[in-house]
């Protein structure tokens, strides 16, 4: 299954909710992912430009994005971004494909 990394920041409403009722939010995220046939691999609270990092598997990108959209719609998070990730081993096949295509693209004006 494809691997995804999601970055998010808590909104002001999300922070207020956490302070009102402090709890581990791993369960709700896990349930959402399982609802689309995915799997939660890791859920981290972080410092820096993102408050949350989620590492998950989902059947495809539309499922991963749908989960992010559902969470964003709650108003609890903002600046949500989901990216596809590959293992270094899996990425070798992608670079091999790219190598075969090198020189085949004609840039604009060329």
Where are the chain's structural domains? 3-101
| Helix count and strand count (H, E) for the chain | 4, 4
Q: What is the pLDDT of residues 39-76, one digit of tens each?
A: 999 999 999 999 999 999 999 999 999 999 999 999 99
> What CATH topology corresponds to 3-101?
Alpha-Beta Plaits (3.30.70)
The whole-number average pLDDT for the span 6-25 is 95
Is the per-residue pLDDT at 110 higher than 80?
Answer: no
- pTM, two decimals, is 0.87
């Amino acid at each position: 299954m494809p691997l995804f990394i999601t970055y998010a920041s808590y909104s002001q409403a999300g922070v207020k909710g956490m302070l009102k009722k402090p709890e581990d939010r791993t369960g709700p995220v896990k349930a959402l992912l399982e609802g689309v046939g995915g799997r939660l691999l890791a859920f981290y609270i972080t410092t820096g430009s993102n408050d949350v990092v989620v590492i998950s598997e989902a059947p495809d990108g539309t499922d991963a994005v749908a989960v992010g959209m559902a969470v964003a719609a709650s108003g609890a998070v903002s600046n949500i971004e989901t990216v596809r990730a590959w293992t270094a081993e899996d990425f070798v096949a992608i670079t091999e494909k790219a190598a075969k295509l090198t020189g085949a693209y004609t840039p604009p004006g060329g």
